[in-house]
Chains A and B, each alone.
With several copies, the nearest count.
Chain A
Amino acid sequence: AASATAATRAVAAEGEDAILKLPEHTTGLGLPVVTDGYGKPSKWEANLQRRQSPGLTRVNQASVSFTPLQGLFGIITPSGLHFERHHQGWWDIDPSKHRLMVNGLVKRERVFTMDDLMRLPSVSRIHFIECGANTATEWGNVAVPTVQYTHGMISCSEFTGVLLSTLLEMCGIDKKKAKYVLAEGADGSSMTRTIDIERAMDDVIVAWGMNGEMLRPENGYPLRLVVPGIQGVSWVKYLRRIEVGDEKYATKDEAVHYIDHMPDGTHRQYTGIQECKSVITTPSAGQTLLDKGFYNVTGLAWSGRGAIKRVDVSVDGGRNWRTARLEGPVLPKAMTRFNIDWVWDGKPAILQSRAIDSTGYVQPKINQLRAVRGTRSVYHQNAIQSWLVSENGEVSNVQVY
């Protein structure tokens, strides 16, 4: 790394070749417009890919790929790098044949085509989606090498669709009896998840748009449920059906997975909220600082209960904290980018970030989380993350509290 710096900075007395010898792109003619009718990233960016975590799952169609948070900016996740979680593989469904059915405790059980849905009054909102199992590997000891694998099951996008409440009202929901809705996907797993009726009538979106275009196939094209603040598994992809009911459904992914293993051996069911959390993305584990001196320490914060109010950063393992700058927009149930100045003196340092949301909730330390929930849980690990900067500039994943 030191040599990389040296290389990019080597300056003869006269000056650098990179300046003195005009590059080809300064003295030639470039490529035409519409070389790509749909463009793609620079070839120099190929290192930033979504990736699997080896050994985490046994088959690739019931697996996860992680977003490379270590190299991202701002709050919008490029759709090409949106994390993936499939239970029975992904599909590129013919949208003209896709249907949404609403059934159950409604006056009229209805069927909607995509044409129908896209005629309805729509909303566009920026929200994060985080897998309930994000950071699961770190419940016990440190297990994985970078923020891509510790925190990369999160993305944030602008979603467009019709409010679920609009559809339920159209179908004549039985306001007395209706207590829950079940959302069901059209893929092989036909993923089902229970959502309480207050939430369903609040800010849940039946979405077709993501970051200005249609959802990507990996993310549920042509239709997915957006359940702001709730773990990703409830954001049912390839959404085909909404049933209005009066009991919770205890589906496989709310009876065998996405349940929290407590020290007394019980499991908490239906714990969908993604509580307030944050992580420093640069510098983060697996990265090497090029030099001593100034760095802009940057990261992401989010809360399933509302907006981010404040983010504090420590460079001494949590002994002392300074409040970071929040980049706008700061939106409810959306990622918020924070930045803070730091001068690295070349000595070991431990970086941490701690988010506070609009309810006043303060992101906990891992020992505080364990004191309540034990160490056998998989889901909902929202502890403060620590990164150790070693003397040689390499950053690594550690637990400090």
Chain B
Amino acid sequence: QSKPWHDIGRDATPAEVKAWDIDVRPDFKGLPAGAGSVQLGEEVWMAKCSSCHGDFGESNEVFTPIIGGTTKKDIETGRVAALVEGAPSTAPQKTTMMKVATVSTLWDYINRAMPWNAPKSLKADEVYGVVAYLLSLAEVVPGDFVLSDKNIAEVQKRMPNRNGMVFYEPMWKVNGKGDVQNVACMKDCPTEMKIRSSLPDFARDAHGNILEQNRVIGPVRGADTTKPAPK
């Protein structure tokens, strides 16, 4: 019982699907055949990536660092230890490599979106190469490694945070139940009514003068944040 609008649109040609269907899944569905060495990757990286991400993926200038904070131990366990609350931190901040569990994600993303100012300009082998180069910086693969569609599943088994992800269905399903419960107390509710945190002084005017970010009429005016905060 097809609807009267059934035939609006047209069939996609195989070439068209090929041109756009570029996603690569964790099970490597979508991954094109190819291979790239760490060395090729380093060349591409230095030419097309390092200006933004730093020679070793460490730069915090254009985006947060890609590399850092993972250990040999993490590669064994598949869990980045530094992520645990209270753990000694091994990097100034969370890096991409500390978080990413699936090597497919790196391949897919670099292939679709990098270099940032020229996305989709890399050849498949070059993507294999830069992924290999990044993995070598994180000591996931040795310096003479050649990453390919044949061995990428093996490399997946060494991803430092490969066991670091959990799927928590209640936050994915609309009919799930929240993990945090409050009750709608109305009177004499438990609260210490003390100020646990307030805006640091340096932040008062860090967003400009708030006076100029509010309407010139109404029940309130913007606070003049060129003057000190109320005591």
Q: Would A and B touch once assembled, by the CB under 8 A criterion?
A: yes
A250: which of B7, B17, B25, B188 is its contact (CB, 8 Å)? B25
Distance in angstroms between the alpha carbons of A305 and B13 in the assembled complex: 39
Query: Would you call B118 an interface residue if the criterion is a C-beta within 8 Å of the partner chain's C-beta atoms?
Result: yes
A273-B176 in contact (CB<8A): yes
B230 within 8 A of A: yes
Task: Report the separation of the CA atoms of residues A160 and B71 in the bound assembly, to the nearest whole angstrom.
Answer: 50
B219 touches A283 (CB 8 A): yes
Of B41-49, B125-133, B204-212, the stretch lying at the interface with chain A is B204-212
Shortest Cβ gap from B56 to chain A (Å): 18
User: A400 and B194 in contact (CB under 8 A), knowing A26-B119, A252-B109, A256-B105?
Assistant: yes
Contact of B210 among A121, A145, A319, A361 (CB under 8 A): A145
A364 CA to B84 CA, complexed, in Å: 24
List the one stretch of A76-84, A123-131, A388-396 in contact with chain B: A388-396
**Nearest-neighbor residue (CB-CB) of B172 within chain A:** A270
Cα(A130)–Cα(B220), bound, Å: 26
A261 to B165, CA, bound (A): 9
Total of A-B residue pairs, C-beta within 8 Å: 408
Question: Would you call A189 and B216 a contact (CB within 8 A)?
Answer: no
Inter-chain contacts of A74 with B (CB < 8 A):
none
Asked if A388 contacts B197 (CB within 8 A), the reply is: no
Range, interface on chain B: 35 or more
Q: Closest CB-CB distance, B82 to chain A, in whole Å?
A: 8
* Residues in A neighbouring B136, C-beta threshold 8 A: none
Which residue of chain B lies nearest to A95 when distances are taken between CB atoms in the complex?
Answer: B217
- CB-nearest residue of chain A relative to B13? A15
> Which residues of chain B come closer than 8 Å to A368, judged between CB atoms?
180-182
Chain A residues near B180 (CB-CB < 8 A): 364, 368-369, 371-373
The answer to whether A216 has its CB under 8 Å from any CB of chain B is no
In Å, the complex CA distance between A55 and B11 comes to: 47
- Known contacts A61-B116, A401-B196; 9 further A-B pairs (Cβ under 8 A): A22-B19, A95-B217, A143-B199, A189-B112, A252-B105, A289-B220, A361-B178, A362-B183, A369-B180
Looking at the assembled complex, report how far the CB atom of B63 sits from the nearest CB atom of chain A, in whole angstroms.
6
- Mark A159-193 against chain B: 1 for CB-CB distance below 8 A, else 0: 00000001001100000000000101000111010
Q: Does A259 contact B (CB under 8 A)?
A: yes
A16 interface residue per 8 A CB criterion:
yes
A47 touches B222 (CB 8 A): yes
Beyond A170-B5, A192-B112, A265-B85, is A48–B215 a contact (Cβ under 8 Å)? yes
A28 and B220 contact, CB distance less than 8 A: no
Judge if A220 is at the interface, Cβ distance under 8 Å. no
Q: Which residue of chain B lies nearest to A384 when distances are taken between CB atoms in the complex?
A: B182
Whether the Cβ atoms of B222 and A188 lie closer than 8 Å is no
Knowing A26-B119, A111-B11, A111-B16, say if A141 contacts B197 (CB, 8 Å): yes
**CB-based nearest B residue for A26:** B120
Report the separation of the CA atoms of residues A116 and B8 in the bound assembly, to the nearest whole angstrom. 6
**Chain A CB within 8 A of B147 CB:** no
Whether B99 sits at the interface, judged by CB under 8 Å, is yes
A148 at the interface (CB under 8 A from B): yes
Q: A118-B217, A394-B230 are in contact. Are A252 and B223 (CB under 8 A)?
A: no
Bound form: Cα–Cα A113–B176 in Å: 36
Contacts of B63 in A (CB 8 A): 58-59, 62
* A residues 186-233 touching B (CB-CB < 8 Å): 188-190, 192, 196, 198-199, 202, 214, 222, 229
Q: Are B216 and A96 in contact (CB under 8 A)?
A: yes
Give 17 CB contacts A-B under 8 Å: A15-B16, A88-B119, A108-B11, A120-B5, A143-B203, A145-B207, A189-B112, A190-B22, A199-B174, A266-B166, A268-B166, A269-B165, A271-B172, A283-B220, A287-B223, A290-B219, A391-B230
Q: State in angstroms the CA–CA spacing of A251 and B101 once bound together.
A: 11
Are A263 and B85 touching (Cβ within 8 A)? yes
CB closest chain-B residue, reference A275? B178
Identify the closest chain A residue to B59 (Cβ). Answer: A58
Tell me how far the C-beta of A175 lies from the nearest C-beta in chain B, rounded to whole angstroms: 15
CA of A192 to CA of B20, assembled, Å: 12
